[in-house]
């Protein structure tokens, strides 16, 4: 049944921590069963707290929030973690999501947005602040300014999938020598001298 959703808050600033607790407690559908000022304590009690949702700050004394997400998901995979932080840094966002976060809110979010997010989680969503959603969606976009020809991109993608020259040749129905030529040209254009460098540069520049 739907019942009351149990919530744990991990946030080192006592003022913000209490503010979140008060805010959430206003809704009868949610109950804040525990709050922590650091990740270690939260992790220690996660298995007994067994919350449905965990609000997690990133900047914490001791273990940071990102690493904490990994630990928590390992112990209690069903806990949905929402990051609540001031950081909008790309890298942090992606790390948090990779570790298993289900949502990512920035602290400038209006209080109502926090509550909405809890509801959104229940509905199978992934609550994100406006800018975070754009970051995430943009991560799928390719760079349209590429020095590589369409065929070269195709070859590079197959190369990045771990295929050998011959395997790529078979996939594209051309001779192995042709692939060798393409790859030589790719290296020239990207100014690299190896497969790993080419893949790294292409991924970084979002050519593939």
Task: Kindly list the residues in this chain that would bind its own copies in the complex (CB under 8 A).
Answer: 73-74, 77, 94, 97-98, 100-103, 120, 123-128, 130-131, 133-134, 136-138, 140-142, 144, 159-164, 167, 194-200
Helix (H, G, I), strand (E, B) or coil at 159: helix
Q: Which two tokens stand for residue 30?
A: 């949610």
Q: In angstroms, give the least distance from the CB of 143 to its own copies.
A: 11
Contact between 166 and DNA per CB under 7 A: yes
Nearer to DNA, 77 or 150 (CB): 150
- What's 168's DSSP letter? H
Contact between 160 and DNA per CB under 7 A: no
**Number of separate helices (H) and strands (E) present in the chain:** 10, 5
Contact between 77 and DNA per CB under 7 A: no
Partner in contact with 27, chosen from DNA, its own copies, none, beta carbon below 5 to 8 Å by kind? none
Contact between 150 and DNA per CB under 7 A: yes
Single out the residue of 172, 200, 201, 206 in contact with DNA (rule: CB under 7 A).
172
Helix residue ranges, H only, 6-162: 14-25, 39-49, 65-75, 90-99, 111-122, 130-138, 150-160
Q: In angstroms, give the least distance from the CB of 200 to its own copies.
A: 7
Burial 143-166 (b: 16+ CB within 10 A, else e): eeebebeeebbbbbebbbeebebe
Q: How far apart are CA 125 and CA 118, in angstroms?
A: 9
Residues 188-207 that bind DNA (CB under 7 A): 193-195
Query: How buried is 1 (Cβ within 10 angstroms: 0-12 exposed, 13-18 middle, 19+ buried)?
Result: exposed
Nearer to its own copies, 48 or 123 (CB): 123
Contact between 152 and DNA per CB under 7 A: yes
Residues that bind DNA (CB under 7 A): 149-152, 164-167, 172, 174-175, 177-178, 180-184, 187, 193-195
């Amino acid at each position: 049944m739907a019942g009351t959703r149990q919530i744990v808050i991990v946030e080192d600033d006592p003022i913000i921590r209490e503010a979140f607790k008060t805010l959430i407690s206003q809704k009868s559908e949610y109950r804040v069963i525990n709050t922590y000022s650091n990740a270690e304590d939260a992790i220690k009690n996660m298995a007994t707290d067994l919350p449905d949702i965990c609000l997690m700050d990133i900047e914490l004394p001791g273990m940071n929030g990102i690493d904490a997400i990994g630990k928590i998901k390992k112990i209690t995979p069903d806990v949905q973690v929402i990051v609540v932080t001031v950081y909008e840094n790309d890298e942090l966002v992606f790390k948090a999501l990779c570790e298993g976060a289900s949502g990512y809110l920035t602290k400038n979010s209006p209080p109502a947005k926090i509550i909405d997010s809890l509801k959104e989680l229940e509905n199978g969503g992934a609550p994100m602040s406006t800018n975070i959603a754009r970051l995430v969606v943009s991560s799928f976009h390719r760079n349209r300014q590429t020095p590589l020809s369409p065929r070269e991109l195709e070859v590079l993608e197959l190369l990045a999938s771990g295929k050998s020259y011959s395997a790529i040749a078979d996939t594209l129905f051309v001779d192995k020598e042709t692939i060798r030529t393409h790859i030589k040209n790719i290296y020239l254009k990207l100014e690299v001298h190896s497969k790993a460098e080419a893949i790294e540069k292409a991924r970084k520049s979002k050519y593939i």
